[in-house]
Amino acid sequence: MPSIKKNRKPGVFKTLSLPGRLRYIWDYYKLQMAASAIVLYIVLFAAWRHFTAEDPFLYAGLVNVAVSGQLEEKLTDGFIRSLPLNPSENPVRLYKALYLTDNTDSQFYQYTYASQMKILAAIDDEQLDVVFLDKEAFDAFAQNGYLYDLDTFFHETALSGASSAQTEDTLCDLLSSSFVSNMEILEDNAKEVALDPSASYQASTREYAMGLRLLDFPMLRDAGFTDELFLCILANTPRKEAVIEYVRYLTDIR
């Protein structure tokens, strides 16, 4: 039987009923309509993402640390309200459930690889400014050189004009008793030792203050933590002024 489409003649569209016209349009233009719909969806979705995307005031991470809902609120919206700003317009992005451990018996060992990937991606994208760490995570971040030298941070922040030098020198002096040093591995022969167990491990290291002992400050001490916890600043943070404000808030130094 001859195709209906082949028998259609110019001007036949005008003679069709409304259902016929709709079928005619569908038969001849469905591919173009589908393509147009996809393009329209992409444009509208891109516009929605552009106008609704969050621009966090600060990025923070909890590594080997779990907090209550009440403390989480203090670490995020409570901080923003203290400035004072609107939390919905200036959110704190808090990465939770991140775990780093070499202990194969730990219940969190299975999450270590995924956490490593997430942490590295956040650091590379400059979307991690401060981290709350236990001692094991503190050592891991320190050895890989991810953390700011706190003396250098406060000095550079003062010189940058983010705040007055006198204010930052005072803040540094007030916090210095809570500074905790750790070791960065600048270079080592770990790969050679892995290939040849008989080789002796050698490393070039640097030690400096890179953590704040959080149990020295009421907000964290009163939360019921008993293990050592540290607040550390990522070496590549682009939000130094926000970090300064966060440190002031957590330590209650204004």
Q: How far is the C-alpha of 121 from the C-alpha of 114, rounded, in Å?
A: 11
Q: For the segment 115-166, what is each residue's pLDDT rounded down to a tens digit?
A: 999 999 999 999 999 999 999 999 999 999 999 999 999 988 765 544 545 5
pLDDT at 1 exceeding the cut of 50: no
Sheet holding 92-98, edge to edge: 92-98, 58-63, 130-133, 230-233, 203-213, 179-188
| pLDDT, tens digit (0-9, with 9 covering 90-100), for 6-22 | 444 556 656 767 777 66
Whether 203 has a pLDDT exceeding 80, the answer reads: yes
Place of tokens 């005619």: 24
pTM for the full predicted model: 0.76
The percentage of residues in the chain with a pLDDT greater than 70, rounded to a whole number, is 81
Q: 3-class SS at 158? A: helix
C-beta contacts of 71-79 below 8 A and 24+ residues apart: 71/223, 72/96, 74/219, 79/245, 79/246, 79/249
Q: Which two tokens stand for residue 199?
A: 């080789």
At residue 196 the predicted structure's pLDDT band, cuts being 50, 70 and 90, is confident
Q: Of the ranges 27-36, 93-102, 168-177, 188-197, which is most confident?
A: 93-102
